[in-house]
Chains A and B, each alone.
Chain A
Amino acid sequence: MPGTISTGHYLVVSTALLLIGALGVLTRRNIVIILMSIELILNAVNINLIAFSRHYGHVTGQVFAMFVIAAAVAEAAVGLGILIALFRNRGTVLADEIDLLKW
C-alpha cells in the first residue's frame, strides 16, 4: 500500500463504483435497485470530478459536481414517479416483464 494517496487512487475507487453501478443497471431485475445503481454511477462521476478539481486546483470540478447532484435529484424524483406509475399500470416492478416494445 503506497503511503501517498494520489489522484490515481481516487480514480480507481471511482472506477470501481462505476463498475458496480453498471453491473447493477445491467443485471438486476428490480427497477428500484436499478435506480439506486444509477445513483452509484453518478457518485462515481462525482468522485472523479472532485479528484480532478483537487488535482488541478480549480473549483470548477466541484461546481460541476454540484450540478451533477442536482441532476441526480431530478432524475431520481422523476424515475421514482415513473416507477410508481409503472407499478400501478403493470403491477410489476421487474424490468424484464415490461417488454411492450418487443418486436
Chain B
Amino acid sequence: MLDAVFFYLFSLLAVGGAILTVTRRNAVHSAIWLIVSLLGVAGLFLLLQAEFLFAVQIVLYIGGIMVLFLFVIMLVNLEEASRQSQFNKQWWLGLACALGVGAEILYVIAKGSDSFPLPSATAAAQGGNTEMIANALFRDYLVPFELASVLLLAAIVGAVIMARKRV
C-alpha cells in the first residue's frame, strides 16, 4: 500500500518535472525542473530496490550533469533566446508523432499487462545491491566497463576541445 503511494508520488515528480522542463521559457527554470524530475526518477529507482543506482543518479546525474548544465547556461547568453518563440514550426507534427508512438507503446503494454506481476522482494537474498552490481560489473562486464572509461576519456577530451576558445 505504501509502495503505491510512494510510487505515485515519485511518478508525479518525474513526469510533472519533465513536463515542466520541456515547457519553460527560462532555461534555468527548465534545469531546475529537470533536477526535480531526476529526483523523482531516483525515487523510482529506490522503489525498485536499485539502491546503488539511486545514489549514482543523485550524485552523478543531478550533482554532475545538471550542475554542468547550469554552468553552461550561465556561460551562454540566453537572454535573447528567451524572448523568442520557444516552439518551432513542426510542433504539431512532433506532437502527433510522439503521441502516436506513445499510444502504440501503451497499447502493447496494455495487451501484455498480464505478464507483469511484480515478484516479491527477493533482491535482499543475494546480499546488498551494491555488492551484486560490483560482482557483475567487475566480473562479467569488465570489458564494457573499461570501454566505458575510454568513452568517458574521449568525452572529456572532446568537451575540452569543443569548448576551448580558438586562439
Contact = CB atoms under 8 A, between A and B. Distances in A.
A–B contact at 8 Å CB threshold (below): yes
B122 A94 contact: no
A96 B101 contact: no
B144 A67 contact: yes
Contacts of B99: 19
Interface of B: 1, 3-4, 7-8, 11, 14-15, 18-19, 21-22, 24, 27, 30-31, 34, 37-38, 41, 44-45, 47-50, 52-53, 56-57, 60-61, 64-65, 68-69, 72-73, 75-78, 80-81, 84-91, 93-95, 97-99, 101-102, 105-106, 109, 112-113, 116-119, 122-123, 129, 132-133, 135-137, 140-141, 144, 148, 151-152, 154-156, 158-163, 165
B94 A23 contact: yes
A82 B34 contact: no
Contact of A55 (B24, B119, B137): B119
Contacts of A84: 72, 75-76, 162-163
B44 A47 contact: yes
Nearest to A95: B88
Main secondary structure of the interface of B (DSSP, over half): helix
B76 A83 contact: yes
12 contacts: A4-B117, A7-B118, A19-B102, A23-B98, A30-B27, A32-B76, A36-B21, A36-B34, A47-B14, A66-B137, A67-B148, A69-B60
Given A12-B109, A13-B11, A93 B81 contact: yes
B48 A50 contact: yes
B53 A17 contact: no
A101 to B, nearest CB: 16
A62 to B, nearest CB: 5
Interface of A: 1-13, 15-24, 26-30, 32-33, 35-37, 39-40, 43, 46-47, 50-51, 53-55, 57, 59-60, 62-63, 65-67, 69-78, 80-85, 87-88, 92-96
From B48, B99, B101, B116, name the one whose CB has the most chain A CB atoms within 10 angstroms: B48
Nearest to A89: B166
B124 to A, nearest CB: 12
A44 to B, nearest CB: 8
B108 to A, nearest CB: 9
A51 B48 contact: yes
Contact of A22 (B15, B77, B98): B98
A78 B162 contact: yes
A40 B61 CA distance: 11
Given A32-B72, A57-B123, A69-B57, 13 more contacts: A17-B37, A21-B22, A26-B95, A30-B27, A36-B22, A47-B14, A53-B48, A59-B132, A63-B136, A70-B152, A72-B61, A78-B162, A83-B72
